[in-house]
Structure 1
Amino acid sequence: MRFLLASLLAITIALGLGGWSAKLAIDGGTNFDSVALGPWRASPLIGTREADPYAKARLAKLAQLTLGGGEGIMFQAEADGEGRRLLLECTYRLTGRTPAARFFTLSAHSDDGRVDLPQSGRPGWLTSNALLRREDNSFEITVGPQARAGNWLATDRTGPYRLTFALYDTPASAITGAAGLEMPAIEREGCSDDG
């Protein structure tokens, strides 16, 4: 009887710790094939058969569609250029360029993966075909709750979020390293509770 109770306790502890560690790996967003370009992160293998099982489980949990290896690549940022967590109540300025792509989208996502759709008919995403650019093909995008002239991505509510830059039909989808690629810088301008 003592052996049976000890065996049941060991199995319960093993299953509990195993489930907890798997949940931590899935919720934590650890990608083993991740590429970093400043605050931006991408997983080139995430839409392929070679993606790690935790990435596949995370995508299934969030019900997100991925881009295949030849279709494009998604970069995500959860922090600004100084490493501070992105917050919906703050205003950010994205400046620079992206890797060559036929088309791209920029959107804000809450931590559960849903697109943060602002109220009052404000834009919930930006697309490259509607983006105002400078003569050198660089651009500036304001992301925040207050309307701005030019390229503006509206956010609403409060709390942490992530920006997703999806590049379609791009040579960057086959990257094995970050050498030579450029993504926009993210600079915090201020927050609504700064006074």
Structure 2
Amino acid sequence: MRFIFLVLLALSIALGLGGWSAHWALDQSAEIGTVTIGPWVANPSAGAPDADPYSKARLAKIGNLTLGLGEGVQFTADRDAAGRPLRRECQYRLAGQTPAARVWTIAPYSQEGRLIQPGSGRVAWLTSNNLMRAEDNSFAIAVGPRARAGNWLATAGTGPLVLSLSLYDTPVSAASGVANVELPELTLESCPDA
């Protein structure tokens, strides 16, 4: 009986430590292969067949699909230009130009990777096809729970926010230098608790 108890104890310790170390390794390796441009972060090779095993494991863990190398690049931001964490209840301004892409989308997500549904009658994401632009092709998007005139990306609830900017059918790729693209600036306008 003592032998069985010791075997079960050894197995539970091994499985517990193994699971914890795998989780820790995934969290600590989040920056492998990533490119950072201001608050925007991308892993352009995450959807490639030869992507590093940590990228593949992170994608399997959250359960989201990623863009393949020939499809485009996805950038995410969980902080504004000043480095403050994004919050759903705050108002932000996303302005500037986007790199060449046939189509691009911007959408709000939770930290767990789930699309934030802003409520009935509100659009959960914006695309480049239905965006109002200035004469120089620049744009400005209000991001937050309060309705605004012009381009508005609605959020709902409270808590952390992650914005996802996806560029589809774009010449921007891992080979052509993702680090050299110019992305829109994300600035805080107001926040209830600030």
TM-score, normalised on structure 2?
Answer: 0.89
Describe the SS at the equivalent of 1:68: coil
Q: Which runs of 5+ in 2 are unaligned?
A: none
What code does the residue aligned with 1:39 have? P
2:120 corresponding residue in structure 1: 120
Q: Which runs of 5+ in 1 are unaligned?
A: none
What code does the residue aligned with 1:101 have? A
User: How do residues 1-195 of structure 1 correspond to structure 2 at under 5 angstroms?
Assistant: 12-26=12-26, 30-175=30-175, 177-194=177-194
Query: Structure 1 stretch 127-136 or stretch 1-10: which is displaced more?
Result: 1-10
Q: Output the aligned Cα RMSD.
A: 2.3
Change (3 A) 1:151 1:28: farther
Query: Structure 1 stretch 165-174 or stretch 59-68: which is displaced more?
Result: 59-68
Is the CA contact 1:29–1:58 (under 8 Å) kept in the aligned structure 2? no
Quote the offset at 1:34 in angstroms: 0.1
Describe the SS at the equivalent of 1:92: strand
Query: Structure 1 stretch 17-26 or stretch 183-192: which is displaced more?
Result: 17-26
Query: Structure 1 stretch 54-63 or stretch 160-169: which is displaced more?
Result: 54-63
Query: Structure 1 stretch 116-125 or stretch 39-48: which is displaced more?
Result: 116-125
CA distance in 1, matches of 2:75, 2:89: 22
Quote the offset at 1:120 in angstroms: 2.4
CA distance in 1, matches of 2:109, 2:175: 24
Is the CA contact 2:143–2:152 (under 8 Å) kept in the aligned structure 1? yes
> 1:66-87 CA deviation, whole Å, 9 max, x = no partner?
1110110000001001111110
> 1:102-146 CA deviation, whole Å, 9 max, x = no partner?
000000001111100111221110000011111221111110000
CA distance in 1, matches of 2:25, 2:152: 34
CA distance in 1, matches of 2:153, 2:164: 12
Quote the offset at 1:31 in angstroms: 3.6
CA distance in 1, matches of 2:170, 2:27: 29
CA distance in 2, matches of 1:138, 1:50: 36
CA distance in 1, matches of 2:73, 2:104: 10
CA distance in 2, matches of 1:175, 1:160: 32
Quote the offset at 1:10 in angstroms: 6.1
